[in-house]
Amino acid sequence: MKRILLERPQRQHQAVVTVGSFDGLHIGHRAVVDRVKEIAGLRDGTSIVVTFDPHPRQVIVPDSAPKLLTSLAEKSAVLGRAGVDLLAVVPFTKDLRKLGAEAFVDRYLVDFLGAETVVVGYDHGFGRDRAGNLDTIQGIAKKRGFDVVAVPPTLLDGEPASSTRVRAHIEVGELDEAVRILGSGYPILGSVEEGDRRGRTIGFPTANLALPSSKLLPPDGVYAGWVQEEARAYMAVANLGTRPTFNGTDRKFEVHLLDYEGDLYGRDVEIAINTRLRAEQKFDGLEVMKSQINKDIVEARRRLEQTSISMDAHNSTDGG
């Protein structure tokens, strides 16, 4: 997938476009993206997702903006695996916030990308104060000569899938419920930074991930998930917390890949966490801790082998 900064005309062949923040890229978002890909495939066109960076709320209400479910890098990784052709990133500014719905569509979708079809979700809002809706864009489409396709809500337990629902589950550590709405593991991507290598000395080498402060993390604890490394998805166990056994104070996110031999220092690593194993604990000595880690690994394998969800809904789970 190609990624561009959308600040000037970069018209695409038979452009099929959707636009939104897509925070979390849950199953409702994926239904919209899948429709974009389907239409583009039928027309031998270009499937395009237009999104914003930073997230609009970080500009509009910076002091009360919620933590992000997906950073731009995470969003790019998920959409790339989903088979989208182009991710077009619009820099969100205070000036852009003032742009009306019709002016936004004219500039970014029609003039800059040459949109021939625009796919929107059932509750799509855009333009100044999100005043533009489905009726608005259908009216603009008649004047500008492009098609509009509306995608109905994706219901789960009788309610539409939403980023709000995902966020509520992650905040309290209900990863299994969050994953049902996401349709994938919860992605956490960070750069592997130098640690104290204590894990390696006790037989469980870990990658210490540096994460942006804007990322929503679950409560401290031990989690299981998948890491895509080259052509293989590895099962992984991750610890989020202060490492009280070692009297730590800084919150760290450390990932141990099962059955992996290699060095990840200095690289970007993404783990898609699927389930919470337990709370973080303080142990009475290293042997007790090592015994519990071995139990965590056994339980992680058991749970991950039972799920069909790995890095995303399009991947299999044949790793480990």
**Which amino acid is residue 142, in one-letter code?**
K
Q: What is the DSSP letter of 246?
A: G
Q: How far is CA 64 from the centre of its chain?
A: 21
Among 190, 188, 192, CA closest to 205 = 192
Structure tokens that stand for 136 in this block: 């608005």
Q: Any idea what DSSP says for residue 67?
A: P
Distance CA 238, CA 25 (A): 22
Residue 89, token pair as written in the block: 């990133």
Tokens of 303: 């749970």
Looking at residue 83, the DSSP 8-state letter turns out to be T
Element (H, E) at 36: helix 27-42
Reply yes or no on whether 193 is catalytic.
no
Q: Choose the catalytic residue: 254, 261, 280, 305.
A: 254
Environment class of residue 61 by beta-carbon count within 10 Å: exposed (0-12), middle (13-18) or buried (19+)? exposed
Active site residues: 254
